[in-house]
Structures are given as C-alpha cells and as structure tokens.
Structure 1
C-alpha cells in the first residue's frame, strides 16, 4: 500500500499548484467576503477591527430603494443583452456558415468587436451617443426620425438603452463564433434527409438544428449570463451609474459602497447576493445538462 501511495504521490503533486491557486484567489476571497458582510467594516475601523452585526447589513441594504433599482436594472440589462446577442449571433453564424468568397476574412473582422478592450469600446460609444456630435443623433435627425438630438447618456429613460446597445455590439461576436463552431459539428446527412423529405427551413431549424444545438446553447447562455450579469467597467466608463441611478447595476452598486462610501460590510452584502444569484443560475444549468444527458 505504501508503494502504491508513493507511485501516486507525484501525480497529485501536479495538482497542488492549481489547488493552491483556487484556494488562495477564489475560495478564500469568497469566504472572507461572506464573513465581512456580517460585520460593520468601514474605513474608520479597518485597522482596529470591525463589530459583528449579524444580518443588520443585509436588512439595511435589501430594504433600500437603490438596491431594488440596481437589481431591476441588472435583470433588464442581462436579459435584453442575452436575447439580442444570441439571436443576432445565430443569424450571423448561419450566414458565415455558407460557402462564399472571403468567408474567413469576414469571420476575423467580426471578432474585432469582442477583442477590442472595453475601455476603448466604452469611450467610442460614448462619443457615438454624444448629444451634440454623436453619429447616432446625426443619422436620426438626417432621416427625420427625430426632430431634436437625443441626450442618450444624459437622461433617465435612454441611458440604460444606450449601454445595452453597446454591450450587445460587444457580445455578438462571442455568441456568433461559438454557435458557428457548434453548427459546423452537426451531421450533414440529417439535413440532406430532411431536404429529401421536403422539410421547410423553419421546420429544419425547429426540429433538427435547435435540438442538436441545445447543449451548446445552454453553455453559451450560462456563460453569457454570468459575463453580462457582472458588468461594471462599461457602466463606469459610459455613465458612472447615472443619471439618477438609471444605469446603476448590482456590481456598480457594490463598488460605490466599498470605494465611495467605504462601507465594506454593506458592499460584501451586494457581492454575496450576486454570488447567490449566479450559483442559482449555475445550478439550473447543471440540472438541465443532467436532464439532457438522461434523455
């Protein structure tokens, strides 16, 4: 038995760096954040030690109007972005899956939107949505769609729309390339049989393509939701959470509590709420995958 363990030990040693990394940079910060969320930790008592307050931070934060606004904005932002990104990404994947000249060139060009740093993209769209010199207002006024330029980022009812449009543009290539890769792995003989049987395109999509792509689409949806739900940098660059909290989302609200109000305990509450929501989404994904495998 000792010899068996001695032979297995080198194999487990290869896992040690990964285990140390996960414990140090993932597990420990999560546990510490949950611990902090039960404390009255501020900048004033950061060195001397914080007082344990139990669920007071949760009660105080969850009852505020700003938390409700941030949660609503996060859900609207995430749901809208995911729907448009997946639908447009699928349509582009269908187009780029065809055989035509310069197909690979267009595939590469499409990835530029996703590869561009968010700082550059956010700054670019901030200029595009500018009330005085923005391209969007120029097009809308030139086509007589609107009479006066729209202050996209400066008014409450359009600021979130502008940020959503920006994130949709960023996320389309990511969804497109994953769906395209999944489509290219589908068996072609099934489509040939459907064509022989006289199936229409909508029937082919609904009864062949969608069922075959379901496992890949589940992965794309979960990755997209997690990536979109934790948006922060785009909000900071374009609107700073304004105007009047119109674009304040949960991650940005947590940032404000920690680094503007210096209320680290209350910020820990927001981070814990985000963690719980994402764990629920991951649990639903695992359940669906397990159900899919059982079928």
Structure 2
C-alpha cells in the first residue's frame, strides 16, 4: 500500500470507499442450513393449523356462500346443478317480514344477555376476590353452568319453565303468584330464553373478570384506604378503571358468542310461539332444515348476514386488542 505526500507529510490513501464497495462475506454453510431447517420446521408446525382452518372454516364458508347465490332444491342439493340466482336470495330475505322481527330479537337477546352477564359476573368476581375460606369451592360451583353441555342446560331450563309442571311456576304458586306461560306465551318466550342464557354466561364473565382483578396491585387499595376511601369509592376509582381493558374484551367476546346462540333457543321454544323468540340463527335453521320444503339458499343467506354481523364485531375486538398492546 503506497502513501501520498501532502505538504511534506506522508498521508495514507483513502480506503473508505474500498471498504464500502467490498462484498460482504457469505454466511457459513452451517448457518444457512440452520435457517432453512428452521423455516421447514415452522411450516411444518403451521401446516396442521392451515389444514384445519381450510377444512372446517374456509370450505364451509365457501359452501355457504355458494348456497346463498343459487336456487337449491333437495334434488340439486344432493346431485348438484343448482341454478345460479345471484343476490335473489338475499333480496327475498331482506324483504321478508320475519327479517325485521328476527333482527330485533337477535339484538335484544344479545344486548340484554351480555349486560346482565357482565353485571352479575363482575359482582361475583369482586365478591370472590375479597378472599375467604370457601371462596375457591363456591367459585368452582359457579362454573358448573359453563361446563355443562348446552343441550343439557337447555333441557333443564325447558323443564324448569314448563307451564304445567315446572319448578319455577311451583315456586311462584307458593308465594301467591299465578301461573306464567314462560315458553308458550309470545310475551314471555324471549324473556325466558334470555334468562336461561344469562345463567349460562355468568361463569365465563366471572372467570375472565376475576383473573383481571388479580392483576390489580393491592398497594393501590392500601393507599386508598389510608386516604380515607371507602369500598364504593375504591371500586369506582380503582377497580373499574383498571378493569376496563379486560371488560372490553369480555363484552366483545360475549357479544360475538351470543349472536350465534342456537341450541338454547331451539330446544326451549324453537323460535316460537310464532316469531316471538326467533333470532337470525334459528330463522336460518328453520329456512334450511325446519320444513318439508327446505329453502337452502335463503337459509344460507341469513347465515351469511349473521356471519357479517359477527365479523364486524370481531374486527372491533381486534382493533381494541391492538390498541391495548400499543
């Protein structure tokens, strides 16, 4: 390497450009093999999930969309060759008088259920968070409605609310109240299934909210007590604000789950009497499979509308979750 004389002094040549233009050394062969093997392993773990989603979510969704844009009969449903009708099934569904009733019942059933589920779940979570000797045992007992199969819970409520031999009417008779036609009266059918759904959903809210309460530092309550705050003030100034992120997730998950409740309503009232307790889920099933002349296209169209509503709330859930993580 030569030097350049400048002003009587020897100066080394500028080699910064040479270092910048020099090619980077290739990674070792073992490292490249490690990267490729890790990618193969990653795709290997991901493949079962992708296959599961395609088989049980993507294909049924595609099949449901295909049903909603064709005129299917029992023969064409089995043999194929159904006539393409485009948006005709959706137009018939939206113009049907039952659509407004089903949509209203769905909104009432969903909103009333999640409000009372959250209220009772939060009250029980705060109660068990105080800690006492039988708290774990009682909390485990409250989980029974959530652990039971839904068909068992629905059958139990159907027996309890029976107009003739139900235990609820028997208890009302003991206190001097007349018989109530819980499942056969248009005025009480929707209320009955809402009560049953609230009972089933309380344990879910209890578990999630109780776990959120455990993440609140106890030092905050101690400092508030030293400042003279009573229990009510501690709840509204500490517990409820710090529990807000968990509450948002709980309400959104409950909303998405309650929108598609079918088993409970169908077993207890079948959406009746008339359309008094019909929701979008039960109406979709009734159109597709509940009559001698099934209308598969219209039933699938109602199901797709319900999917769009649930998807909208699912996007809200994702947005709330992202906002909490940032």
| 1:204 equivalent in alignment to 2:204 | no
| 1:25 equivalent in alignment to 2:51 | no
Q: Which sections of structure 1, spanning at least 5 residues, go unmatched?
A: none
The 5 A counterparts of 1:116-195 are 116-144=148-176, 146=177, 148-195=178-225
* Deviation sequence 1:169-220 (CA, Å, 0-9, x none): 1111111111111111211111111222222333322232122112211221
In the TM superposition, residue 293 of structure 1 has moved relative to its aligned partner by 4.2
**Structure 2 counterpart of 1:233:** 263
In the TM superposition, residue 229 of structure 1 has moved relative to its aligned partner by 1.0
**Structure 1 counterpart of 2:41:** 10
| Alpha-carbon separation, structure 1, partners of 2:39 and 2:163 | 66
| 1:92 equivalent in alignment to 2:110 | no
| 1:56 equivalent in alignment to 2:88 | yes
| Alpha-carbon separation, structure 1, partners of 2:317 and 2:52 | 25
DSSP 3-state at the match of 1:156: coil
| Alpha-carbon separation, structure 1, partners of 2:298 and 2:324 | 40
The 5 A counterparts of 1:243-254 are 243-254=273-284
**Structure 2 counterpart of 1:282:** 314
In the TM superposition, residue 142 of structure 1 has moved relative to its aligned partner by 2.2
What is the RMSD computed on CA atoms of the aligned residues? 1.7
Note closer, same or farther for the CA distance 1:8–1:154 as it changes in structure 2 (3 Å cut): same
How many residues get paired?
A: 292
DSSP 3-state at the match of 1:45: helix
Counterpart of 1:41 (choices 32, 53, 72) is 72
* Deviation sequence 1:12-63 (CA, Å, 0-9, x none): 1111111111111111211221232111122132214111111111100011
